[in-house]
Chain A
Amino acid sequence: MNWIANYVRPRINSIFSRRDTPENLWQKCDDCGTMLFHRELSDNLNVCTSCGHHMQISPRKRFEALFDGGVFAEIKVPQPVVDPLHFRDQKKYPERMRAAQRATGEKDSMLIATGEMGRTPIVAAAQDFSFMGGSMGMYVGNAIVAAAQEAVKLKRPLILFSASGGARMQEGILSLMQMPRTTVAVQMLKEAGLPYIVVLTHPTTGGVTASYAMLGDVQIAEPNALICFAGPRVIEQTIREKLPEGFQRAEYLLDHGMLDRVIDRNSLRDELITITRILLGLPPAVRGDLPPPTPGPAAVAGDATAKPDDDKSAMAKTSEKSAE
């Protein structure tokens, strides 16, 4: 309308709306509806303190909880061609990407890093459901291939946390081609004799479940995670009957022999340390909240097989965002 309404007022509003405190100090549990104080929720890794419901957690936050002292070095992911199909549905694909990038502060829906977990050197990959439904496109494919290559190079296990609605439709057939691509990445690990452990988190569906997320040496899931190929809605439409309670949830899959374990997020790190150290033939881990590894011989003292040279690269960089 006029100068004041279009220019001055938004500016003034933006000055006053800048606050140091987070906008939502309280978050409602998706499941039981309890109002949870953000700090308490965050300390509990986004698991409801009242009912134990596991809510989404960003890859960065997950890594901060996973790696010793929250320290990890991000592995660079080769940037694929952006919008190869010039895809347009109701919005253009690059617009959707920019919106997701602004909302999450991440490049795409997967973060890969290396570091130590209970003094066990690992490579980890985590998918971000808040970024376009964690959908698998060329970037995710590149990330998994890069993570596998890094793991082979450093002779470390790969631990992957999946969370995805499936293939990214905006990349059409090229997203479908990430199924064989990521399968090749898993084969690289297997042929190098390195453990590949998958932690399926809510939700993991479609082409992601039908490729790298189901090919782990050990398959773990977080409680009540939806894990499936076809979603419950599609199945109900196809067979025209109500599905049983808990269908396609982690515990249901465990009952049907599709998983090794269902583990609470807060116990996950300890279990992963135990499993990887056994698979790698390392002595039992030192428990507890370990400080970040310090470069030098002290850091690798408890670790008979790790090469000091390999470890230094893992300690090069500290995570930029802190837990709070």
Chain B
Amino acid sequence: MTQYLDFEKPLAVIEGKAEELRMLARSNEGMNVADEAAALDAKAKTLLDNLYKNLTPWRKCQVARHPERPHCGAYIDRLFTDFTPLAGDRNFADDLAVMGGLARFNGQPVMVIGHEKGSDTKSRIERNFGMSRPEGYRKAVRLLNLAGRFKLPVITLVDTPGAYPGKGAEERGQSEAIARSTEACLQIQVPLISIIIGEGGSGGAVAFASADRVAMLEHSIYSVITPEGCASILWKDAEKMREAAEAMRLTAQDLKKLGVIDQIIPEPRGGAHRGPETAIDAVGQTIADMLEELRNEDGATLVKQRRQKFLDMGSKGLTA
């Protein structure tokens, strides 16, 4: 049973009615509701299409954060084989908000790293809702460098509300850890592909997404701060998140126009959580295409082009 978002209420009503009808038919034999139920289903389908055709930025945020949206682990399970998780930052701890390890993608050896939010209460707490502490970034740095040494292309899956704002995280150098992770991304001499599958939250996302190619799922978001955070700072009212989401231009469609990302990956009707396998396969296809594009580049050229891409950002394709 899908959890409905607040703007999906009309849909919940219709789908609920259809479900009710079917229940009724099951308990009263001889009652024919197939036509009516089918009509309701059709209505629900059109409504879903219309709702998702023009999602406002704030609604996109809600979809991107949907608890049932496929997370990093689901992608790794379906797209990679021989996944061998590697743990720890060799300094302090293993941060479960970041998962990563050796794997094969279509048979090719790669390194995969991503934020994992967890899928039930227990795993969400364990994964700290995908909010990494410094150890998560330091683990990533370690894996990035390992990949660089053994010429393994790196795929990062970004899905984090942001870096964790906690006491210990600050004491252990959250900002330095993020900076080093970004630095490692911009240094490794192997192809680096980043897919934003849910929330691309601020520095925590950049630390993984300073890549050769960056793609975003259709209803994912990528921003400098959460809309709530932006609203509370600039509007002095966190409830103004809708306005903030609008102003910040955080949707995949806007970011493509701004030249920040390279590609938008379509999601199934009603968002990735209504068809996880379709969404994951679409991401897999994009990764395969991008790896193919970068296959023949040598390491030094990749780094040079990657850096140039970020240096050029903001100077090209913007309208004054």
Which residue of chain A has its CB nearest to the CB of B202? A176
Taking the complex as formed, is A258 at the interface, i.e. its CB lies under 8 A from any CB of chain B?
Answer: yes
With A85-B248, A87-B247, A169-B234 in contact, do A187 and B176 touch (Cβ < 8 Å)? no
Q: Does residue A75 face the partner (Cβ distance < 8 Å to B)?
A: no
Contact string against A for B residues 239-274, beta-carbon threshold 8 Å, 1 for contact and 0 otherwise: 000011001111000010010100000000000000
Beyond A85-B248, A173-B224, whether A179 also contacts B307 by CB under 8 A is: no
In the bound complex, CA of A248 to CA of B169 (Å): 11
- Inside 8 A of B243's CB, which chain A residues have their CB? 89
Complex Cα distance A84/B248, Å?
11
Please tell me if the beta carbons of B260 and A174 are within 8 angstroms of each other in the complex: yes
- Assess the A84–B314 pair: CB atoms within 8 A: yes
Whether the pair A169, B224 counts as a contact (CB closer than 8 A) is yes
Output the least CB separation between A82 and chain B (Å): 7
Number of A-B contacts (CB under 8 A): 169
Q: Binary interface profile of A, 177-220, with partner B (CB < 8 Å = 1, else 0)?
A: 10111011011000000000000000000110111111100000
Contact A229 B260, CB 8 Å, known A186-B183, A210-B175 = no
Whole-angstrom distance from the CB of B178 to the nearest CB of chain A?
A: 4
Q: Are A228 and B206 in contact (CB under 8 A)?
A: no
A160 within 8 A of B: no
Chain B residues within 8 Å of A6, by CB = none
**Is B62 interfacial (CB 8 A cutoff)?**
no
Q: Say yes or no: A181 contacts B174, CB within 8 Å.
A: no
Chain B stretch 271-320: residues in CB contact (< 8 A) with chain A:
307, 310-311, 313-315, 318-320
- Given contacts A173-B258, A247-B167, whether A183 and B174 have CB atoms under 8 Å apart is no
Is B183 in contact with A175, judged by CB distance below 8 angstroms? Answer: no
Counting from the closest, the 7 A-B pairs by CB-CB distance are A230-B165, A209-B175, A89-B234, A229-B175, A210-B178, A180-B210, A176-B224
Interface residues of A (CB under 8 A from B): 78, 80-82, 84-85, 87-90, 138, 141, 145, 167, 169-177, 179-181, 183-184, 186-187, 206-207, 209-215, 227-230, 234-235, 238-239, 241, 243, 247-248, 256-258
Binding site for A on B (CB under 8 A): 163-167, 169-176, 178-180, 182-183, 185-187, 202-203, 206-207, 210, 222-225, 230, 233-235, 243-244, 247-250, 255, 258, 260, 307, 310-311, 313-315, 318-320
